A and B are shown apart, each in its own frame.
Chain A
Amino acid sequence: MADDMKKPYEYPFEMPSEDAVAMKDGGVEDRPAGVPKSYARGESVSWTPESISEIHALSRLGRYQIRGFNSFNHRLPSFDDLTFVPATMTRLPLEGYRESCDTKTVLGGGSGLVENPLELDIPIYIASMSFGALSANAKAALGYGASKVGTLTCTGEGGMLEDERRASRTLVYQMTPSRYMLDLAHLRMADAIELVVGQGAKPGTGGLLLGMKVSERVAGMRSLPSGVDQRSTVRHPDFLGADDMQVKIEELREATDYKVPIFLKMGATRPRYDVAIAAKAGVDVVVVDGAEGGTGASPELLLNHTGIPTMTAIRAAREALDECGMSGKVSLVAAGGIRSGTDAAKCLALGADAVMVGTGSLIALGCNSPRYFDGYEALGTEPGRCHHCHTGLCPVGIATQEPELEERIDVPAAAERVARYLTAMTMEITLLAKACGKSSVHNLEVEDLRALSTEASAFTGVKLAGIDRPFSW
């Protein structure tokens, strides 16, 4: 460069003034023309306002940040990347407003080993959420709402709450690695047992319940000192790998006399292998919880940066079951970020036998509803944006153990809203199924879907819209 400068080029005219070069004949004063944005707003790819404030937070706290709700990673694909292609000339639709479409869903009946498989009226149920993460009123309302529409709820990891057992016609008893309040009588009162090896919100890490929610009652059920920041174990205390788990499953069957199905819930990470191994270990139902799965509290980085999206996991899980001849023998449940019947229908078409909704059902209870504005304001948020489940200060009484907040749940009204939400979701599924010519929601198939993005097609193998071929390399 320096060499180039040795022989300066001479213009055939006079050198312009600096003011003329700087466009002072009308340009913004004291600012180079052409790059005004860089002055007003930094546009760094790495040092965004969010990443800067993250560092300020870390450097103050000396630990990772913790919050509830679900992933804020906007790079995850959305169910909206898929669309249905209803029957037209090659297929015949059913009358959407007249003809019936079967929604009955059986879980755990495939092996023939279980005396009482679960028979649900709809292909949707309420996700496992603990008493502790949720208030007793919230648990009861979910139980009654689910019972009304003939589906189940799950205890979550805090042990079996009497309020929920009373409310839920069908109740799955969860066995997490922490084994809080694990009781043989409760095990035998349950309609199914769920072993948990992970969850979509934070696969590979145990549950988290901050001290504000570890009330006397919660602490009593978990045999913990009240007020501790409870971090649950992630490895089971009494088995390690899949071969041991197979023995464990036999133990649970012995303890419950082969009456109830055994579920296994996992966070979606390597579902192609994990689901095949779970099926081999002898469970009746595999629940695959995608990265969009919600939680009451988690290190934020795990919510945003671990696990794979629900839609991608379903295809891998279904192919795994097909490949090892276990489809039909082991039921597949999908969860994580399912908002509506439309999302649920897409999950069924991708290969799920049923879906589980957590956050959606809480929103039906009243989560993020525009009431108790002072409560949201105190948390520094507003209705529609609240994700402060971890604080235990839920303005609408759901994710709290404070009696005066919990009383804000009108249990009968909240139960009815849950029932209507599940009913509406089911109607959405049947509407789509009938448009696709299916007399059962379980007949929805991958062929009924098209992808609207190359990404969604590449992730799932669903054909791209129009060109009718899956994106491939």
Chain B
Amino acid sequence: MSEVIVTVKDRPIREVNREIKAALAEGNKVIVRDTRSRHNLGVGLPPGADIRFEGSVGYYCGGLNDGANIEVERNVGWSCGEAMASGEILVNGYAGMSLGASMRGGLIHVKGDAGPRCGVAMKGGDIVVEGKIGYMAGFMSHAGRIIALSGAGEACADSLWGGEVWVAGPIESLGVDSKVVEPSSQEIASVEKLLDELGLGDNSHQWQKIVSAQRLWHFESRDASAWLMI
């Protein structure tokens, strides 16, 4: 596999993405330079693609990813990896709002903090944030795991349908219809195994596992108070 360098600068994004896809189709690893925080870089990349963005990127980087291995040297804007089905995204810096929105599979790993609503409407896969996750993390997510190693902002795990939010460190407040439960040792082992693979294994984590309290799953007059909390 050889490396191909694609330069972004102020070129039309359509042209840049075409060049990226063509290079990937030939089996090359792609290095993208001069990214200038541009939006929509590396959208809908195919399985097996290997790509690294130098610098920071804007919105929707790695959006609709279906099996590509993506690395961003610095920060990502809103909705990195949105609707991702499979593959891996590594962000060495910080992530903006809606990281991994409605993703269905794969792994997103952020070394810094993640902004508000990371894992919003998530349907599967894993998000690992070494820093803190912003407010309303996991808002109305259905499935999958959000794992934060340095705390969570307000309204954490708000209105979960399903899925899990794992937090080591302080949680500013819980969102509506969520509750902290005691994780089983197998569940902890599964989380630690994932972290181990990312070089983050550390058995001293004090985990708080948050799941849906399921009070908003049904319209029920006998539980009218549940509806008044929203």
> Is A210's CB under 8 angstroms from B44's CB?
no
Interface 0/1 of A59-71, CB less than 8 Å to B: 0111100100000
- Which among A224-232, A330-338, A419-427 touches the partner chain? A224-232
> Is B64's CB under 8 angstroms from A63's CB?
no
Closest A residue by C-beta to B16:
A254
| Residue of A231, A250, A254 most packed against chain B (CB within 10 A) | A254
Whether A381 is near chain B, meaning CB under 8 Å from some CB there, is no
> Is B217's CB under 8 angstroms from A228's CB?
yes
> Is B59's CB under 8 angstroms from A244's CB?
yes
Give the contacts of A181-199 with B (CB-CB under 8 A).
181-185, 187
| Interface SS of A by simple majority | loop
Contacts of B217 in A (CB 8 A): 225, 228-229
Size category of the binding interface on chain A: 35 or more
> Is A238's CB under 8 angstroms from B79's CB?
yes
Whether B142 is near chain A, meaning CB under 8 Å from some CB there, is yes
Contact of B59 among A211, A222, A223, A251 (CB under 8 A): A251
Closest A residue by C-beta to B59:
A247
CA distance A221 to B105 in the complex (A): 14
Closest A residue by C-beta to B102:
A179
Contacts of B227 in A (CB 8 A): 62-63
* Pairs A-B, 3 closest by C-beta atoms: A62-B224, A238-B79, A179-B102
Closest B residue by C-beta to A188:
B44
Contacts of B63 in A (CB 8 A): 238, 251, 255
Residues of A within 8 A of B (CB): 60-63, 66, 177-185, 187, 210-211, 222-225, 228-229, 231, 233, 237-239, 244, 247-248, 250-251, 253-255, 258
> Is A179's CB under 8 angstroms from B78's CB?
no
CA distance A228 to B162 in the complex (A): 11
Given contacts A184-B85, A223-B142, A250-B13, 7 further A-B contacts (CB under 8 A): A181-B123, A222-B142, A238-B63, A239-B59, A239-B78, A250-B39, A254-B14
Give the contacts of B1-59 with A (CB-CB under 8 A).
13-14, 17, 39-40, 43-44, 58-59
Give chain A nearest CB distance to B137 CB in angstroms.
Answer: 12
Contact of B102 among A63, A225, A237 (CB under 8 A): A237
Contact of B14 among A177, A182, A247, A258 (CB under 8 A): A258
What would be 25 A-B contacts, judged by CB atoms less than 8 Å apart?
A62-B227, A63-B224, A179-B102, A179-B121, A183-B85, A184-B66, A185-B66, A187-B64, A224-B161, A225-B162, A231-B216, A237-B79, A237-B117, A238-B63, A247-B40, A247-B59, A247-B60, A251-B40, A251-B43, A251-B59, A251-B64, A254-B13, A254-B40, A254-B44, A255-B63
Closest B residue by C-beta to A225:
B162
Contacts of A237 in B (CB 8 A): 79, 82, 98, 101-102, 117, 120-121, 139
Contacts of A250 in B (CB 8 A): 13, 39-40
Contacts of A211 in B (CB 8 A): 218
Closest B residue by C-beta to A256:
B44
Contacts of A244 in B (CB 8 A): 59, 78
Please, how many residues of chain B have a CB less than 8 angstroms from a CB on the other chain? 41
Contacts of A231 in B (CB 8 A): 216
> Is A228's CB under 8 angstroms from B218's CB?
yes
Given A178-B121, A210-B219, residue A254 in contact with residue B17 (CB < 8 A): yes
Closest B residue by C-beta to A254:
B43
> Is A184's CB under 8 angstroms from B39's CB?
no
| Residue of B17, B124, B140 most packed against chain A (CB within 10 A) | B140
Contact of B221 among A63, A177, A179, A238 (CB under 8 A): A63
Contacts of B143 in A (CB 8 A): 223
CA distance A66 to B220 in the complex (A): 12
> Is B83's CB under 8 angstroms from A63's CB?
no
Contact of B218 among A181, A229, A247 (CB under 8 A): A229
Contacts of B64 in A (CB 8 A): 184, 187, 251, 255
> Is B162's CB under 8 angstroms from A224's CB?
yes
